[in-house]
Amino acid sequence: MTHHDPRFDLDWLLHSFAPISLSDLNTKAEMMQRIDNKYVVSREGLARIVPALAQQFDILDIDDRRAFTYDTRYFDDAQCSAYYEHHQGLRKGFKVRTRSYVDAGLCYLEVKVKAARGMTMKNRIGHDPAASGMLDAVAWDYIHDTYSTHYRKAFRYALQWTLDIRYKRITLVAKDGGERMTIDTDLVFTSADRSLRAGRDMFIIETKSALGRGVADLLLRQVHERPMKKCSKYCLGVASLGMVTRANLFLPTLRKLGLLGTHGVPLMPLPGQNGQIAHPKAPA
């Protein structure tokens, strides 16, 4: 029996697929370099393609668990440069985050950069789960080296904690390998002073394949779903919480998720917390 939150029924999705272990999934399709397509799909729309997906994909299963909680902390500078570079479509953008796999007790530091032909390169190293909200000297060196090696210029962003995102993720892998699909729902965005929950009946689906035209993309197009050009969860969170002044390119996605015009619920600040992350080697 698959474990799940009884207040949040996903059985119709979780029990439709044959299981695959994490080691087998990584052997088939680790996909560290890939072309990603992102979709925003309603519960009804996703349910329409589940039978066809189940013929082509297996579901990640770890200790009888198939829906996993992810905690992700994003780091940006005070000007939200990572956000605005993505908004402007710059070819040399970046994202820096720590990602905690809550159910597995694992944590990684991840640095995402752009490659040719729209490809995303995700670089990561292990990170102390107890310090998932912090960037130490090792983390800063990795960020600097990854960015400067890839783009051949120095990393000059004074990073600080900007946004936390928690969500549930289901991971599918093609039976013949070479393609992955993630299904995210129950998103909660939290900044230093506000929090916002997206609807549980909407799903952010990300397909990952070598050319960006995989089986999952074809099935989604058959039910009239098209990739959203601007669907970064970090950017959606920053925009929906009113942390930036320009978000016009994200409006279609915000509207589809039901987040347009919402700025979240104010939070009481914790004593002594100001959201600033000190970096031993951060530039002045």
Domains in the chain, CATH or no CATH each = 11-265 (2.40.320.10)
**β-bridge mates for residue 202, sequence order:** 42
Residue 73: the pLDDT is 97
Q: What is the dihedral of CA 72, 77, 80, 81, to 10 degrees?
A: -110
- Confidence class for position 32, pLDDT limits 50, 70, 90: low
Average pLDDT over residues 274-281: 38
- Confidence class for position 226, pLDDT limits 50, 70, 90: very high
The answer to whether the CB of 223 falls within 8 A of the CB of 210 is: no
Q: State pLDDT tens for residues 174-197.
A: 998 888 999 999 999 999 989 999
Residue 31: the pLDDT is 56
Residues 6+ apart with CB under 8 A from 191: 162, 163, 164, 237, 238, 241, 243, 264, 275
Q: 44 is written with which tokens?
A: 């009804």
**β-bridge mates for residue 57, sequence order:** 174
Residue 265: the pLDDT is 77
Q: State pLDDT tens for residues 64-86.
A: 999 999 999 999 999 999 999 98
For the cut 80, the answer to whether the pLDDT of residue 104 exceeds it is: yes
Q: State pLDDT tens for residues 82-101.
A: 999 988 877 788 999 999 99
For the cut 50, the answer to whether the pLDDT of residue 126 exceeds it is: yes
**77 vs 211, more confident:** 77
- Confidence class for position 35, pLDDT limits 50, 70, 90: confident
